[in-house]
């Protein structure tokens, strides 16, 4: 594996593990608020981000590269409201999308067609991630401070389940 591409993959592995950590902080926030459905939504995100990180991790190994684990930054732990949480989630997912696009650019630059093909799955996944977050954010914006609506949304989010992705 090209050295520049290997470093970019390692940086993305770190970003995905950070995402897992970031959503774990949100999970704890919703647990403190006793919003079980929101907590469940974050638990699914935690599992997805772990799967994304491991997909990249395994790909580097399959290509004969070296995974170099890096320090994971401390995430924010408090928010003013569920709406503020989901605003941060959308910003974060947009950031992750930009990182995945940069990874794809490097794979193109070094002409690694296998990596380009592999990364394509992540590009498509980010479209889905941003859409899922955007839908919850739109609903939270619509309901404002209506506690009954927040309760109903919490019940809806409790139905979300994790399905292990087939990456690549």
81: region left, alpha or beta (phi > 0 left; psi from -120 to 50 alpha): beta
Domain positions in the chain:
3-69+77-157
Q: Which residues contact 41 (CB under 8 A, 6 or more apart)?
A: 136, 157, 160
**pLDDT, position 136:** 98
CATH match for 3-69+77-157 among 2.40.30.170, 1.20.120.10, 3.50.50.60, 1.20.1260.10: 1.20.1260.10
Q: Which residues contact 65 (CB under 8 A, 6 or more apart)?
A: 1, 6, 9
**pLDDT, position 168:** 81
> What's the mean pLDDT when you consider all of the chain?
97
The per-residue pLDDT for range 45-87, each reduced to its tens digit, is 999 999 999 999 999 999 999 999 999 999 999 999 999 999 9
| Segments of the chain scoring below 70 in pLDDT | none
């Amino acid at each position: 594996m090209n050295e520049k591409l290997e470093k970019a993959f390692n940086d993305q592995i770190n970003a995905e593990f950070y995402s897992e950590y970031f959503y774990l902080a949100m999970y704890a926030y919703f647990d403190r608020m006793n919003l079980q459905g929101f907590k469940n939504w974050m638990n699914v995100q935690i599992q997805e981000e772990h799967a994304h990180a491991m997909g990249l991790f395994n790909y580097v190994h399959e290509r004969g590269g070296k995974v170099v684990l890096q320090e994971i930054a401390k995430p924010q732990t408090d928010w003013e409201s569920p709406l503020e949480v989901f605003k941060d989630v959308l910003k974060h997912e947009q950031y992750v999308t930009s990182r995945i696009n940069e990874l794809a650019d490097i794979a193109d630059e070094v002409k690694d067609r296998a990596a380009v093909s592999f990364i394509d799955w992540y590009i498509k996944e980010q479209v889905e991630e941003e859409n899922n977050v955007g839908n919850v954010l739109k609903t939270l914006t619509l309901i404002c401070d209506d506690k009954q609506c927040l309760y109903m949304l919490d019940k809806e989010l409790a139905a979300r389940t994790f399905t292990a992705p087939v990456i690549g």
